[in-house]
Amino acid sequence: MLILAGCANSVTSMASSGASAVQSLTDSDKDLKISVLNVGQADATLIQYKGKNMLIDTGDVDSRDSLVQQLKARNVKELDAVLITHPHGDHMGGMAALFKAFPIKQIYDNGQVANTVMYRNYLKNIKAKQIPYKVLKKGDSLTLGDDVVFTVLSPGTIFTKDNTTGVSESGLTNDNSIVCKMTYGKFSMLFTGDAQKEVEDQLLKEDIKADILKVGHHGSKTSSSDAFIKAVAPQAATISCGVNNSYKFPHEPTLKTLQKYHVDVYRTDRNGVITIKTDGSSYSIEKEHE
């Protein structure tokens, strides 16, 4: 079902970056397509442009078969790039299946080492398959098909127990998430991994305004501060979370903050796959189901 990502019956001009929300867009080779995949209590976003395929995060182990099926259903035969925001299972758990299912041309991550079998196997596969690998940090940028630009806003310095206080080990890993802003023409989308409020505070100094926000940490109250949502000023936000998940994501404080700033919210637990299509000047959002 195609929905209007703005006012009920009109094209809405976006104050954040100039892109417009429209009721629908006709398929075109010039269109950028973003699919927030339905991978349960995990994260995976497919970005497609001019025959190129990029995946940000890969879901968890238990959603690996579904991930591969969803990619094949979208005509993915190879992955030009895979970006792992941080080495938690719900963001990199699908890698083992991807190594088997598709040729992968490039892998990016934040360089943080995890003491897990999953992570060690990930590195072994990269080496065995001789896949180009690069660690991303603040200030880096990469492109997809020349016109789609990703600017890395975080991390700068990797957070550790030695340089941080009052944050759990899991929280440190979340805060080390790659945060990047994707731009295509006048359209922009901000990807935040599981970055929490400590990182959001630092990001307030950056150019974080975006038409669409991929909400941090599955909608947890540890992310999406009032100041951050106000600064991003998104027209719409996507939340990747599992049906009746044990964490009760998304948390009510997050939803209330998004509501306060009149942000349209799309959730994979309710809406299934969320598809965003843009020609760089306007965009539409399609829900798999209500």
Each residue's pLDDT tens digit, 230-274: 999 999 999 999 999 999 999 999 999 999 999 999 999 999 999
pLDDT of residue 12: 33
Q: What is the DSSP string of 88-135?
A: -HHHHTTHHHHHHHS-B--EEE------SHHHHHHHHHHHHTT--EEE
Rounded to whole angstroms, the Cα distance separating 269 from 203 reads: 28
pLDDT band for position 167 (50/70/90)? low
Q: Is residue 154 within 8 Å of residue 199, measured between CB atoms? A: yes
Domain ranges of the chain: 30-287
Mean pLDDT of 43-53: 98
Identify whether 87 is preceded by a cis peptide bond (ω within 30 of 0): no
Q: Strand, coil or helix: what is 228?
A: helix
Query: How remote is the C-alpha of 289 from its chain's centroid?
Result: 20
Greater confidence (161 vs 44) lies with: 44
Can you give the pLDDT at residue 149? Answer: 98
**Does 161 have pLDDT greater than 80?**
no
Cis, bond preceding 103 (omega within 30 deg of 0): no
Helix, strand, or coil (residue 240): coil
Element (DSSP H or E) covering residue 265: strand 264-267
Q: Which two tokens stand for residue 244?
A: 């009746």
Interval 172-177 mean pLDDT: 92
pLDDT of residue 37: 99
- The count of other CB atoms within 10 Å of the CB of residue 28 is 9
Q: Which of 215, 238, 217 is nearest to 228 (CA)?
A: 215
**Whole-angstrom Cα distance, residue 159 to residue 176?**
6
Six-digit token string for 103:
């040729």
Of 24-28, 145-149, 190-194, 237-241, the least confident: 24-28
Both tokens of 65, joined, read 């078969």
**Rounded to an integer, what distance in angstroms lies between the CA atom of residue 184 and that of residue 288?**
24
Q: What is this structure's pTM?
A: 0.90
Q: 30-287 architecture in CATH?
A: 4-Layer Sandwich (3.60)
Say whether pLDDT at 157 is over 90.
no
Mean pLDDT of 63-84: 98
Average pLDDT, the chain: 90
Q: What is the largest CA-CA distance in the chain?
A: 53
